[in-house]
Structure 1
Amino acid sequence: MSETVGDDANVSAAVADWGREEVQGVWDPGRKLLRAVRRYQRLRGKRGPWARLMRKYWVLNHWFWSLVTQSEIHLNTEIGGGLRLTHPTGIIIHPDARIGPNCMIFQQVTLAGPVVLGGHVDVGAGAKLIAPLTVGDHAVIGANAVVTRDVPPGATVAGIPAKVISGPGPAERTPG
């Protein structure tokens, strides 16, 4: 499995690749954090003492892996299948954010507010996406970019503030 931004162009933007979320080995904090979110969400509508006990277990599990990774991913965040948290340190995802299938998020990324990521969006290290905004399918957000506007599908954006540097959409370049 590739772990470089934009390298896996054949990944679907619509069909989740659940294999990307399978825990690999004993120490896999990003996937274990994501597993805690998924298991809690699966039990959210269930009733009874067993479901209540298991929800509490997954809340504690989520809390532990959040401390290990120093990341904040709310238990009720809408996350499509196949999310990769490649280096899961310092990731902050607002509870109202929506993440499409097969996205990849690197370390120190912030999704502030109701940000919507389409399918197979790669978000580089340190990027900040400040809502409200939508990122189209197969887009790439460069490292340390500050995104404050919508990103068209297939575009690559970078800079502060982020501008389209390749792909579809009008490229905003500064003279010089």
Structure 2
Amino acid sequence: MEKISTTEPDWSREYCTTFWQPSKQLLRAIRGYQRAQASTGFIATLRAKWWVFCHRFWSVICACDIPINCQIGGGLLLIHPVGVVIHPDAIIGPNCLILQNTTIVGGVVLGGHVDIGAGAKIIAPVAIGDDARIGANAVVTKPVAAGTTVVGIPARVI
């Protein structure tokens, strides 16, 4: 099995193969908007408005709150995006996995290839190291070292 990189984004994880892949379409809208914002001119403004419309549509379909101006590294994988809430000031590293009903508050910095289980809450501005795993329904209030797994309420290393 090939190790997933913590620094180089695997863009194939976000690639849409069919129309009805809501989480990938949502990420596509975010990426498109950010590209349009980096450009200037009338056409770029129209593209940005189009991507805002797409983002709103897919946000409703996914029932999640991922801001269009968030800082997400490439290769994010949202298997079931329902209930995912990410603060605009959170920084998500490359190749992360976020499952349903997850909350990430502002000031959180996720390293590369962080896996977050269903229902997990990161409710303090902390750093989560590369290759860390956060178990389902864990409540993280303290930093998590690279390569460790945390579970429980409050989250503790296992």
Structure 1 runs (4+) greater than 3 angstroms displaced? none
Q: Which amino acid aligns with 2:136?
A: A
Q: Of the candidates 124, 145, 150, which is equivalent to residue 143 of structure 2?
A: 150
| Rg larger in structure | 1
User: TM-score, normalising length from structure 1?
Assistant: 0.87
Deviation at 1:103, TM superposition (A): 0.3
Shift of the alpha carbon at 1:45?
2.5
Cross-structure match for 1:137: 130
Aligned-pair CA distance for 1:114: 1.4
Match 1:68 to one of 49, 61, 67: 61
TM-score by length of 2: 0.97
- Distance in 1, Cα, partners of 2:92 & 2:17: 22
Q: Shift in Å at residue 9 of structure 1?
A: 7.0
Matched residues, number: 158
Q: 1:104 — aligned with what?
A: 97
C-alpha distance in 2 between matches for 1:95 and 1:28: 23
SS at match of 1:72: coil
1:116 — aligned with what? Answer: 109
Question: Which runs of 5 or more residues in structure 1 are unaligned?
Answer: 1-7, 166-176
Same amino acid, percent of matched pairs: 55
Displacement of 1:25 in angstroms is 1.1
Aligned to 2:13: 20
Residue type at the aligned position of 1:93: I
Q: Tell me, which stretches of 5 or more residues in structure 2 are unaligned?
A: none
